[in-house]
Amino acid sequence: MNPRAKFAALFVLLTGTALTAGQTAAPTSPQPTFKLRVDYVEVDVVVTDRNGNLVRDLKKEDFQVLEDGKGQTITNFTHVDIPVERGDRPLFASEPIEPDVKTNEKPFDGRVYVMVVDDYHTRFGRTQRVKAAAKQFIERRLGANDVMAVVHTAGASDANQEFTSNKRLLLAAVDKTMGRKLDSATANKTNEYYRTRDMRAAGDPLNDPDDAERAFNARNTLDTLRNIAEWFGSVHGRRKAILFVSEGIDYDIYDMIQANNGSNHMGASMVMDASRDAITAATRSNVAIYGIDPRGLTDLGDESIEIGAFPDDTSLGIGTGSLWNEVRLSQDSLRMLSEETGGFAVVNKNDFSTAFTRIVEDNSSYYVLAYYPPDARPGRVHKIDVRVTRPGVTVRARKGYMTPKEVKVTAASAKDTRTPEVRDALDSPLPVSGLTLHAFTAPFKGAAPNASVLLGVELRGRDLQLSANDKIQLSYMAIDANGKVKGGNTDMLSMTALKPETKARIEQTGLRLLNRIELPPGKYQMRVAAHDSAGGAVGSVLLDLDVPDFAKAPFSISGLVLTSPMASQLPTAHADEQLRGVLPGPAVAQRSFPQNEEVSLFAEIYDNQGGTPHKVDITATVTTDEGKVMFKTDEARDSTDLGGKTGGYGYTTRIPLKDLEPGPYVLAVSAKSRLGNATAVERQLRLIVTPAVPVR
């Protein structure tokens, strides 16, 4: 798969893939594209003082923006100052509890990163160093309110990770890095010299046998950067950053006179064009690139150790000097990509801590300026110069942009019943606020090899118009690790026949929908969007979903579902028949309950070793942040209940909250087989207890 197709697959929602209501597979009809258009130009600006500290008190009047040397009127001005939030981690836990419910109730206010791990330009022996640098940023610098995607320039597409704030998933994607950088041109030419020394005539040039592949790898990496930048153009009003973890492009674009057939000249021209296209796309989309060289301070030890002896013919220019020249060229490529797009390069540094802090600061406190371009004709390149009237400060911003060329718009499939608002919300890499949603997923064992995933979505009542002709559309789809839509559905709820009492109840409490989706084992991102046609409110959420292989795992646990008398009062448009007999009410997305509530819980434990008699211990606990167990229940189940076959144990329990003080808790369900040394399985979620409320 070429880089463009690979990235398009990773961010498949850019194409607005259509799903017909009721279908669970992507259609084969043509995918729509969207016309790029410049209504205004956004420029985000980082301003620092003489000591490198961010300047946060500038006003609109302090800025001047010149396009092609002419002053422009700044029509919109915003100072962005984003806090770094920490994960909600109980004191007794080493890591935060991954939330099982996602909501867009609070507008997204974090940083947006794409980490590009350049396997093509990472030596195999330095793979661990690349992983260490990438992990350091994720573990120490990524805030709980940030989102990041991980993209590899080479390897399988399932090594990539969609946008998420889940550090576990991001670190897992980084762990799939595998350096595959070619040997240096100096090493290759040295080998070529000794191989052909007895056959060479004086003055014969030395060729790099990997020249064509080196140019191909360079172009692929640069095309990946370009495609990410182009896709990033759909995100407005905030700074967008590409963290380019790479040893730099190792193709010498200046050495054009090598092979008689002109192949080197062609390769150099191709790489130069790809570099220009990547920078053009980044400046057009207002994306800052930060080149991060994981080599740190290098003494050429890794490069020269494989070279026994350089050619004794010094006229060939092959030696330590040419090795250093390759390092300089690769680092210059990182500097060029970074400086031209408003970022900076991290090179010749063994300690990344200071540089990573600076990257976070760059994307935390900045100014966004917008103006209407004097020349919006497609395909025109324009220079931007941002100045500040205050003396003694340094200004960093993109240096130019190119207006997009006209793009032919392909009509969406006639089978696509989704509204444009829903399609746009699903396309967005960030959650959309406006129509407040709370959503959860819970995987259960289904008909092999698939799992049956319960999706619950709750809409807030006061966001809905609920007029006589109002229609609420809810659409969702699951995207696998290869960027393919594996299932989904679109529901249309008509408010026409609502009884007055039902309408009043929805206005007061909200509305719930429960759906099932069949998915094979794997890693997914679930995207959910809703649109209220009468009021126009739109909302979306993104959920990370891991579907275990329940059929093959010796011992496993389903997702957890909860309900309570008060929480279940929301009218439920779609009930879940499979849970009707095991829970006293519909599964709810609420995780905050008053003291005078009783929470009911359901889970399934899957045991594929039923042929050997044994017992299974199931435990549910509620624990304070300090680690004190406030509620515990134990239950033993016998494998004879399975009739000597594989199967599962349905587990229910009720948790009274009257004895729990208001505050945060961890609810956990764990199970362990007494057969052999089986590993315990567990699910955890956050539970918030609030003061008691009057019961109506």
At 15 the pLDDT is 26
Burial class, 247, CB count within 10 angstroms (exposed 0-12 / middle 13-18 / buried 19+): buried
Q: Which residue has the tokens 């000794």?
A: 194
Judged by DSSP in three states, 329 sits in helix
Give Cα 571 distance to the centre of its chain. 33
Confidence of residue 11 (pLDDT cuts 50, 70, 90): very low
CATH number attached to the domain at 1-34+417-546: 2.60.40.150
Summarize pLDDT for 193-229 with one digit per residue, the tens: 888 887 877 767 788 889 899 999 999 999 999 999 9
Cβ-contact 474, 513 below 8 angstroms: yes
Cβ-contact 653, 601 below 8 angstroms: yes
Tokens encoding 142: 């990524």
At 647 the pLDDT is 82
Give Cα 240 distance to the centre of its chain. 13
- Domain 553-696 sits in CATH 2.70.50.60: yes
Q: What percentage of the chain's residues is helix, strand, coil (to nearest 5)?
A: 25, 30, 45
Summarize pLDDT for 389-416 with one digit per residue, the tens: 999 999 999 888 887 766 555 555 557 8
The rounded distance, in Å, linking the Cα atoms of 150 and 164 is 9
At 187 the pLDDT is 87
Residues with Cβ within 8 Å of residue 375, at least 6 apart in sequence: 68, 382, 403
Confidence of residue 33 (pLDDT cuts 50, 70, 90): very low
Whether the predicted pLDDT of 306 surpasses 80: no
Q: For 507, left (φ over 0), alpha (ψ -120 to 50), or beta?
A: alpha
At 446 the pLDDT is 92
Burial 46-75 (b: 16+ CB within 10 A, else e): bbbeeeeeebeebeeebbebebeeeebebe
The rounded distance, in Å, linking the Cα atoms of 388 and 370 is 15
Of 105, 196, 194, 160, the closest CA to residue 540 belongs to 105
Cβ-contact 647, 606 below 8 angstroms: yes
Tokens encoding 24: 């669970």
At 519 the pLDDT is 96
Of 345, 232, 224, the closest CA to residue 286 belongs to 232
Residues with Cβ within 8 Å of residue 519, at least 6 apart in sequence: 443, 450, 451, 453, 478, 486, 487, 545, 547
Percent of the chain at pLDDT above 70? 89
Cβ-contact 42, 368 below 8 angstroms: yes
Whether the predicted pLDDT of 48 surpasses 90: yes
CATH number attached to the domain at 108-363: 3.40.50.410
The rounded distance, in Å, linking the Cα atoms of 131 and 178 is 9
At 240 the pLDDT is 93
Confidence of residue 265 (pLDDT cuts 50, 70, 90): low
Summarize pLDDT for 590-648 with one digit per residue, the tens: 999 999 999 999 999 999 887 788 899 999 999 999 999 999 999 999 988 877 677 88
How far, in Å, are 450, 515, 620, 623 from residue 651 at the CA level? 21, 21, 10, 19
Cβ-contact 213, 265 below 8 angstroms: no
Judged by DSSP in three states, 379 sits in coil
Over range 64-83, report the average pLDDT. Answer: 93
Give the predicted TM-score (pTM) of the model: 0.86
Whether the predicted pLDDT of 486 surpasses 80: yes
Cβ-contact 489, 23 below 8 angstroms: yes
Residues with Cβ within 8 Å of residue 221, at least 6 apart in sequence: 3, 118, 120, 121, 153, 246, 249
Q: What single letter denotes the amino acid at residue 303?
A: E
